[in-house]
Chain A
Amino acid sequence: MALADLTLTEASEAIRERRHSPVELVEAVLDRVERVEPRLHAYAAVTADRARHAAVRAEREIAAGRYRGPLHGVPMGLKDLIDVGGMATAAGSRIRADHRAGSDSAVAERLSAAGAVLLGKTHTHEFAYGLTTPQTNNAWDQGRVAGGSSGGSAVAVAAGTATFALGTDTGGSIRVPASLNGVVGLKPTYGLVSRHGVTSLSWSLDHVGPITRTVEDASLVLAELTGYDPRDPASVPAPGGGHRPSGADLSGLRVGVPRNYYFERVDPEVEAAVRGAVACLAELGARLVDVEIPMAEHVQAVQWGLMVPEATAYHERGLRSAPDLYADDVRALLEAGELMSAGDYVRAQRARTLMREAWAGLLDGVDVIAAPTVPMTAAPAGQTTVTWQDGTVESVSDAYVRLSAPANITGVPALTLPVGRDSAGLPIGMQLLGRPFGEDVVLRAGHAYERARPAAMGRTATAA
């Protein structure tokens, strides 16, 4: 197997055992970048020289016996909303053309301390306000959307141009592109990973998390990202203990299978693959429990009621000083957000409280909830709507957000992992949601699945 195709777990073992050096690994991934970037466009900026220097430094430290841990010497990409001191955080926007971040974001700081090697900044839908990332092509079919808004990060991981990456998730922006590109994405519990130094879309809904090739890889990255940070008002001290999952036995685990919402208006091939994966969890010992998703009819209203005015508030100055520099789709939403009332916003915040309480009740009865991540695989670029079997028409963006938004509103952890392909060969993702700070349970269930069905996991795009 090519070095660029190693999972993070494999790569870090190879480095720790000194079978391969960080320099070899970084050169292999940079070589892959050179070959596939011209057609995939996952990166907004590649920092090859900086990466080579960091790899040499990591190699020397490891040779001197100063091994820092599983990310040491491993090449990764950061979504271009995440500040790295001295570099532009362009956020996919012309309005950030002259930007330079003054210092590292909390997560960049943590990854740097863990010895990870930054390869570059990955493309985002402009200011994360969209679900397609039009700059980037899907890793498996270049005529289809990457998904978004962390499209660059997901495509880089899927194509072997980053061993892992970070994304952000306000309404599915880690899980949607991870699912559409056949990789793993974890939106951690709200407050578990600091957002300090990460450009906000919506303070109430924003999360930062890993995109990787396996669930085990996601647990390795998460362990380096967590910790209380007073600079993020949502940050809370993380409950103790590691997140690394082990074992394939799910005996005693209660898996909730929604009878409403998550399987409605879902492509039949997606539903079949996810139900097959749920059956696999049962074969591994899990007990399946029918569950009713509470307040499902209010999900979109809460999501929009929080996100729209917060995004508009964040961009208040830019919208007045240089409105023409925003893309049309983003500008229209930001401008319309000026017309939303404070009453609508407060109502959404109160509904969020109600939804948290209702979900706490739901999660008293089960340990995880299993559902599709998105209702359909990657849409052809340029397709704007989807017509469902019941005759309803939905925008592609609304469809991609629909099954992700509950975890943003409630703040519960949500993992997506690949569980199959549709007849066009496009990846299908299953979402596992858990209790707040129940990452260990979600990762355990996901890891058990990937051990039972290894063929679905860890593969890079054949197109690469």
Chain B
Amino acid sequence: MSDLTPPEAARLAARAGLPLADARTAGVAATANHIHSVVSALRDLDFGDTPPAAAYRALATRHADARKENPDGTR
């Protein structure tokens, strides 16, 4: 697959709700392309019926109450 160009990276970032200043698009595109080249290796795997490893329990905890700040710590 061809690499993202800086304008394509800017458009995809905007779709994700993250406007990028022009000065940043080339760097973000290069980093995103590098990440993509690494994670694409997983497409070689035959997963069959393998489920993802994400954790979930039906019983709620008080986690949300215990951490009242925003997750990034800003207020």
Contacts and interface: CB of A to CB of B under 8 A. Distances in A.
A321 B28 contact: no
A339 B12 contact: yes
Interface in B56-75: 56-57, 61-63, 66-75
Interface string B2-46: 001000010011001110100010011001101110111111010
A233 B61 contact: yes
Contact of B52 (A230, A317, A353): A353
A17 interface: no
A241 B40 CA distance: 43
Contacts of B38: 300-301, 304
Contacts of B47: 347, 350-351, 354
A308 B52 contact: no
Chain A interface, DSSP helix/strand/loop, else mixed:
helix
A302 B73 contact: no
Contact of A351 (B12, B20, B45, B75): B45
A98 interface: yes
Nearest to A95: B74
Contacts of A316: 72
Contacts of B74: 95-96, 317-318, 321-322
Contacts of A319: 18
B35 A315 contact: no
A243 to B, nearest CB: 24
B72 A339 contact: no
B61 A339 contact: no
Contact of B35 (A308, A349, A351): A308
Contacts of B57: 233
B16 A317 contact: no
A302 to B, nearest CB: 7
Contact of A298 (B31, B41, B73): B41
Contacts of A353: 50-53
Interface string A301-343: 1101100100000111111111000000000110111111000
Given A231-B63, A301-B39, A339-B9, A98 B75 contact: yes
B70 A317 contact: yes
B14 to A, nearest CB: 10
B46 to A, nearest CB: 9
A48 B74 CA distance: 27
A199 B32 CA distance: 24
Interface residues of B, number: 45
A96 B74 CA distance: 7
Contacts of A96: 73-74
- The majority secondary structure among interface residues of chain B is loop
Contact of B42 (A298, A315, A333): A298
B59 to A, nearest CB: 8
Interface in A286-304: 297-298, 300-302, 304
Nearest to B68: A102
A311 to B, nearest CB: 11
Contacts of A426: none
A148 B16 CA distance: 30
B28 to A, nearest CB: 5
B43 to A, nearest CB: 7
B27 A305 contact: no
Nearest to A96: B73
A456 to B, nearest CB: 35
B42 A102 contact: no
Nearest to A230: B61
Contacts of B17: 320
A356 interface: yes
A66 interface: no
A337 B50 contact: no
B12, B17, B31, B50 — which one has the most chain A CB atoms within 10 A of its CB?
B31
Interface string A341-362: 0001011111111101000000
A314 B72 contact: yes
Nearest to A339: B32
B18 A233 contact: no
A314 B9 CA distance: 21
Given A316-B72, A339-B16, A350 B52 contact: yes
20 contacts: A96-B74, A102-B68, A204-B53, A231-B61, A233-B55, A233-B61, A298-B42, A300-B38, A333-B31, A335-B31, A336-B31, A336-B32, A337-B35, A338-B16, A339-B32, A340-B36, A344-B42, A348-B42, A350-B47, A354-B50
Given A233-B63, A301-B42, A353-B53, 15 more contacts: A95-B72, A197-B66, A230-B62, A298-B41, A300-B38, A308-B39, A314-B72, A318-B73, A335-B31, A336-B34, A339-B16, A340-B36, A350-B51, A352-B52, A354-B47
